[in-house]
Amino acid sequence: MESLRNTHKILMKERTSAIRRGLLDAIDSRARLIAIKGSRGVGKTNFLLDFCKDHYKDNPSCLYVNINNLFFAMEGLFNFVERFYKLGGKVLLLDQIHKYPNWDRELREVYDRFPDLQIVFTASSILRVKSNKYLHGIVEMYNLSGLSFREFLELETGYKLFEQTVPIDVVYRVFQLGQQYSWHIQSYVDDHLLCHHKNWQSDHYEQQTGAVAEFLGDTIYTLSSEPNKLIAIDTEEGIDRIIDILTPLVGNRVTLVRSQRDFLEITAPNVSKGRALAQLALDNNLSLENIVSFGNADNDISMLSETGYSVAVSNATEHVKSVANEVCGHHNEDGVAHWIEKNLL
């Protein structure tokens, strides 16, 4: 036990994070049993150490251990946890749980025997966790993916993109209304797409955008991190009804804008593509007059209105076309590329 504590102290003392992973803000850090799945080399060990640094720095009741250690083969996971708990342990960070035989059965025994002990463990991306017969219904599972574009930029340049998040009280209110009216409301927390459950709306969004959703169940209603945005997905008429209900209740606290006919984005006040572009131009000493913007949906209008010249694709909404200086070809026919080739190259 002492050698494991010493290893933990050394790792934490030498801990320097090149980047903070967005998933740290997305998980429910209060859950008793948390699984972090990911492919090899994605950074699961670093994630556990950063989790410890965020929540339990210098707290002796928290311990990081790598299960791929001869100690566990000799003593056993349950016996180790029992000793740790009797010594005042409260939080265990178990790395590479899949390296231990019968990990799921012993983890369930630990969960049942020590109800005030929190365990966060990492596992291979191919390991069955949510559907595991021993862990079903008791584990909160998250996927740690490769770096998001935002994280990559921060790592490569040291520059953190300007961002504003949706106020958490408004988030809870929107989710409450979503439950009341059976809306599909999904959340983005630092490029992680979070949904309650899989349905036609989540399938539709994944097919449209290529994003991969994480399904949290009711945990999504209690997330403590403010999201970058919420998205409601419904029929065109359904989105009209959602706008009619939300506008008088939270319309003065958020921006409501369609990204396409059946997608409604709910963002912080005054957040828009136009404002983001203006900030980037300012940061890079560029004039908006020298920028050409392209768009197709209502959430592009603020950007099209800011730049020196604006172009709508032929499949854009009529409102967008009326704002743009020019209309180019359909996006399915590489309309933007053809316009750039003809006018700029």
Strands 255-260 and 263-267: antiparallel
- Report which of residues 338 and 56 the model is more confident about: 338
Which pLDDT belongs to residue 178? Answer: 96
DSSP code string of 299-345: GGHHHHTTSSEEEE-TTS-HHHHHHSSEE---GGGTHHHHHHHHHT-
CB 117 within 8 A of CB 94: no
- Per residue in 208-260, pLDDT (tens digit) is 888 889 898 988 898 777 898 999 999 999 999 999 999 999 999 999 999 99
How many other CB atoms sit within 10 Å of the CB of residue 69?
18
Cα–Cα distance, 345 to 339 (Å, whole number): 9
Which tokens is 140 given?
Answer: 């909160």
- Per residue in 75-129, pLDDT (tens digit) is 889 999 999 999 999 999 999 998 888 899 999 999 999 999 999 999 988 888 8
Cα–Cα distance, 34 to 48 (Å, whole number): 11
Cα–Cα distance, 266 to 336 (Å, whole number): 27
- Per residue in 276-330, pLDDT (tens digit) is 899 889 888 999 999 999 999 999 999 999 999 999 999 999 999 999 999 999 9
Q: Bridge-partner residues for 185, per DSSP? A: 232
Cα–Cα distance, 27 to 220 (Å, whole number): 9
Is this prediction's pTM over 0.75?
Answer: no
DSSP code string of 248-297: HHHTTTSEEEEEETTEEEEESTT--HHHHHHHHHHHTT--GGG-EEEE-S
- Per residue in 179-218, pLDDT (tens digit) is 999 999 999 987 789 999 999 999 999 998 888 898 989 8
Which pLDDT belongs to residue 160? Answer: 66
